[in-house]
Amino acid sequence: MVEVKVGDVFNMADAKSGASGRGPWLLFRKKAEQGSDQIGIWANGNNALDCKRWKTVKVKEITQVKRGSTQYNGQWYPKIDVSVVFAEGPATSLQDGNGDFMEIPPDNLDELPFN
């Protein structure tokens, strides 16, 4: 089972964005660890534009949940779309895009004991 809750954090590198007749939008897909279930997590309007300034976003508020289904190759799959309001997420300045920590060089290389 896959779920979205207030406080969930997403990396903006994983976002898809665009514009429609109703304005700008931002989309994340969250997939279940097992199976084919997934949720579309949407931000619209000014909130979608705000998100582009941040490296990470966190779910501040869930405003709407839509449930349905879609057919693909004769099979029916659940379709869940969640509209949310995002806030700026936690800083990730010490992590690269893969979630690994980056190596930060020391300020003064002359003081290292192995030079």
| 36, 70, 90, 100 from 74: Cα distances, Å | 15, 10, 42, 40
Q: Write down the pTM of the prediction.
A: 0.68
Regions of the chain where pLDDT drops below 50: 94-96, 101, 104, 112, 114-115
Give a yes or no: residue 46 inside a domain.
yes
Q: Which two tokens stand for residue 16?
A: 């898809």
> What is the predicted pLDDT for the residue at 85?
93
Tens of pLDDT, residue by residue over 40-70, are: 999 988 888 888 888 899 999 999 999 998 8
Distance CA 4, CA 30 (A): 8
Distance CA 84, CA 82 (A): 6
Domain count, the chain: 1
How many residues in the chain? 115
Give a yes or no: residue 113 inside a domain.
no
The letter for the amino acid at 47 is: N
Q: Which two tokens stand for residue 55?
A: 């490296």
> What is the predicted pLDDT for the residue at 84?
93
Give a yes or no: residue 82 inside a domain.
yes
